[in-house]
């Protein structure tokens, strides 16, 4: 699949692009089945790492940071009772899996390194693309957490800034179950803040404290198999899922090999696990 000149112009103008039916349904189903198998084999005892976009400073523990080169599991904020036991099964409590699925799991590796994605990266101008990180996101029924408005480059900063996010809808994403919201053209705004690793742990460095103009965000309701391309500077969010239906998605982030991933990013791969491209 090649994107057209008009589609490329749309991405460059708006900072996002929806490609319907990019992935066939059986491929989506294989990825979902594999994620469910990984969760089934996961032993949560002694692991209570919660994913939240509200409290990254506090929650940047070793388990989170080590996930740059591993497959780790993170719970929903609302998954626990006051006594720290799960409200429901672990299968209904996991927020996401990250962040090296594409390198460490054969099913995710196959999904992430297709000829179609390699061609897409070339069409988007990445000369020597590298797969930076991956996440499987569950957006659980009724407790799926909100992801506040943010730019991906806040967390994955490179020089030059050429991060591209690939967001695959493994189920229909709707207003009811927490679809993405994006600010068309918002990638032309400056980087608002960075999440830095320092001697005192993780912290935000803020360059612009003005609130996001969230009234400018529009929802992207997409069908299963759709791919949403997201510029690293594009402001986007998703609301909490209070419906009875999940909203499974898989995300990849790409950079060009000529980019330098900042040494104070949270994502630091082990020295024996360098970034790989599509081969």
pLDDT for res 96: 95
Yes or no: say if 117 and 254 are a contact pair by the CB < 8 Å rule: no
Q: What is the pLDDT of residues 50-90, one digit of tens each?
A: 655 555 544 557 888 899 999 999 999 888 888 878 889 99
Residues 197, 179: Cα–Cα separation, whole Å: 30
Mean pLDDT per block of 10 residues along the chain (279 residues) reads: 91 98 98 97 74 51 89 90 86 95 98 97 96 97 95 94 96 98 97 87 91 97 98 98 97 94 90 95
pLDDT of residue 49: 62
- Cα→Cα distances 197→65, 194, 202, 263, Å: 10, 10, 5, 8
Cα separation of 44 and 107, whole Å?
Answer: 22
What are 224's two structure tokens? 């299963």
Q: What is the pLDDT of residue 170?
A: 98
pTM higher than 0.85, yes or no? yes
| Among candidate residues 193, 178, 181, the one with its CA nearest the CA of residue 149 | 181
Residue ranges per structural domain of the chain: 5-261
Return the structure tokens found at 258: 């000529």
Supply the pLDDT for residue 57: 43
In 3D space, the residue among 112, 110, 77, 82 whose CA is nearest the CA of residue 95 turns out to be 77
Give the residue carrying structure tokens 């990984």: 38
pLDDT at 79: 87
Bridge-based pairing state of the strands 147-150 and 201-206: unpaired
Please tell me the predicted confidence (pLDDT) of residue 58.
Answer: 43
The whole-angstrom separation of Cα 233 and Cα 69 is 24
Please tell me the distance from the alpha carbon of residue 13 to that of residue 33, in angstroms, as a whole number.
36
Q: What's residue 135's pLDDT? A: 98
Query: For residue 266, what are its two tokens?
Result: 């949270």
Three-state SS for the chain is CCCCHHHHHHHHHHCEEEECCCCCHHHHHHHHHHHHHHHHHCCCCCCCCECCCCCHHHHCCHHHHHHHHCEEEEECHHHECCCCCECCCHHHCEEEEEECHHHHCHHHHHHHCCHHHHHHHHHCCCCCEEEEEEEEECCCCCCECCEEEECHHHCCCEECCCCEEEEEECCCECCCCCCEEECCCHHHCCCCEEEEEECCEEEEEECCCCCCCHHHCEEECECCCCEEEEECCCCEEECCECCCCCCCEEEEEEEECCCEECCCCCCCCCCCCCCECCC
pLDDT at 60: 57
Give the pLDDT confidence score for residue 198 in this predicted structure. 76
Is the bond preceding residue 165 a cis peptide, omega within 30 degrees?
A: no
pLDDT value for 232: 97
218 vs 225: CA distance, rounded Å: 20
Render pLDDT for 99-135 as a digit per residue (tens, 0 to 9).
999 999 999 999 999 999 999 999 999 999 999 999 9
Dist CA 121 CA 232 (whole Å) = 14
CATH class entry, domain 5-261: mainly beta
């Amino acid at each position: 699949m090649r994107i057209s000149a008009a589609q490329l112009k749309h991405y460059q103008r708006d900072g996002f692009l929806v490609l319907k039916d990019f992935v066939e349904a059986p491929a989506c189903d294989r990825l979902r089945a594999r994620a469910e198998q990984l969760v089934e084999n996961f032993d949560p005892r002694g692991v209570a790492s919660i994913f939240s976009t509200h409290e990254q400073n506090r929650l940047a523990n070793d388990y989170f940071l080590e996930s740059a080169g591993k497959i780790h599991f993170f719970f929903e904020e609302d998954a626990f009772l006051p006594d720290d036991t799960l409200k429901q099964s672990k299968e209904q409590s996991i927020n996401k899996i990250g962040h090296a699925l594409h390198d460490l799991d054969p099913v995710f590796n196959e999904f992430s390194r297709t000829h179609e994605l390699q061609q897409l990266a070339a069409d988007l101008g990445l000369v020597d693309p590298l797969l930076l990180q991956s996440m499987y996101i569950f957006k659980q029924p009724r407790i799926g957490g909100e992801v506040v408005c943010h730019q991906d480059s806040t967390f994955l900063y490179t020089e030059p800034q050429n991060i591209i996010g690939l967001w695959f809808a493994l189920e229909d994403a709707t207003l009811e179950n927490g679809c993405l919201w994006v600010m068309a053209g918002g990638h032309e705004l400056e980087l608002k803040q960075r999440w830095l690793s320092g001697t005192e742990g993780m912290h935000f460095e803020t360059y612009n404290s003005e609130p996001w103009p969230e009234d400018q965000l529009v929802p992207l309701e997409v069908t299963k198999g759709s791919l949403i391309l997201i510029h690293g500077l594009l402001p986007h969010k998703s609301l909490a899922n209070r419906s009875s239906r999940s909203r499974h998605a898989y995300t990849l982030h790409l950079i060009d090999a000529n980019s330098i991933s900042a040494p104070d990013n949270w994502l630091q791969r082990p020295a024996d696990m360098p970034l790989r491209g599509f081969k």
